[in-house]
Amino acid sequence: MARHQLSHLDSANRPVMVDVGTKEITLREALAEARVRLPRSLGAALRKSGHRTRKGPVFDTAIIAGVMAAKRTHELIPFCHPLGLEHCSIEIKQRTGGEILVRCRVAVHHRTGVEMEALTGASVAALTIYDMCKALSHDIEIAGIRLLEKSGGKQSYKRAPRPTRVGA
């Protein structure tokens, strides 16, 4: 079995920011998702209202929050490098049964990847949906925050699609 070393520890096992100074500048892209599970009745009410609550347009607000969070990831995650993102988009789709799928795609030409920015953008967009709907129900669940794909660094990654469930 190959031994994996954590990149954020120095030789004395102290936390350290990874030195990316010698890495090649390439186009780095990442796609992440989060799932917001609403009670069926809340999902139906949200769809009927055009995705608006008393706080305002839920999806539009979540998109803005997700982009803002992705741009500020380095302020939230201690060892993330500050990046001037060249692209960040949030896509939100309400599926049948009350589930909302949030996806964040991020890109930059840099020496380090943007996985954390994509994950942060998707997470904060999902949290914003929760915040804007919590007055209607606290029985909302955020789940499945995960990286779907990344490219442009030493290794590319693409997650295999989830198996289709019967009756889903």
Query: Which amino acid is located at 81 in the chain?
Result: H
d(CA 85, CA 82): 9
- 136-147 burial, b if ≥16 CB within 10 A, otherwise e? beeebebebeeb
Count of all residues that appear for the chain in the document: 168
Say if CB 43 and CB 97 are below 8 A apart. yes
CA dist 28 and 117 (Å) reads 11
Q: Rounded CA gap, 58 and 101, in Å?
A: 13
33 and 71 Cβ atoms separated by less than 8 Å: no
The Cα-based distances of 92 to 16, 22, 41, 71, 95 in angstroms read: 35, 37, 19, 18, 10
**Catalytic (active-site) positions:** 131
